[in-house]
Amino acid sequence: MIKGTFWLEEKSDGGVTIWIEDYEVEAFDGADYEWCYSLDKPNTDKFTDIMSRSNSGSLEHMIEAEFGIHLDKKSAKQWLDDNGVEYEFFSWVHRD
């Protein structure tokens, strides 16, 4: 598996979506696995506020400092749940 990096998408409602893609995932017969956490504006604000207590810079820099460039899905989910940040989670497998 080739670990992907995360990227942010700002949504029109003021929320954000945090995306990541892993390439050539053995469990999916070499396919790509994409997933994301989508936060509405109130939860984006809460997420940013809590992150800024222990990190600094842009939201992207704070996420990287907290979870690493590859944004481990399990640790990110645990952090969101532990801090009461609500989100929608989506995932899918993409084959060329």
> What pLDDT was estimated at residue 1?
44
pTM across the whole model: 0.81
For residue 1, being part of any structural domain is answered with: no
- Mean per-residue pLDDT, 54-63: 92
Number of Cβ within 10 Å of residue 67's Cβ equals 18
What percentage of residues in the chain have a pLDDT greater than 70? 82
What's the pLDDT at 34? Answer: 79
Dist CA 58 CA 82 (whole Å): 22
Banded pLDDT at 33 (limits 50, 70, 90)? confident
For residue 78, being part of any structural domain is answered with yes
**Residue 59: inside a domain:** yes
Does 35 fall in a domain? yes
Nearest to 89 by CA among 75, 65, 73: 73
Confidence class of residue 39 from pLDDT cuts 50, 70 and 90?
very high
Specify the number of domains making up the chain: 1
Question: What's the domain range around 58?
Answer: 6-94
Q: Is the confidence at residue 32, as pLDDT, over 80?
A: no
- Establish if 24 belongs to a structural domain: yes
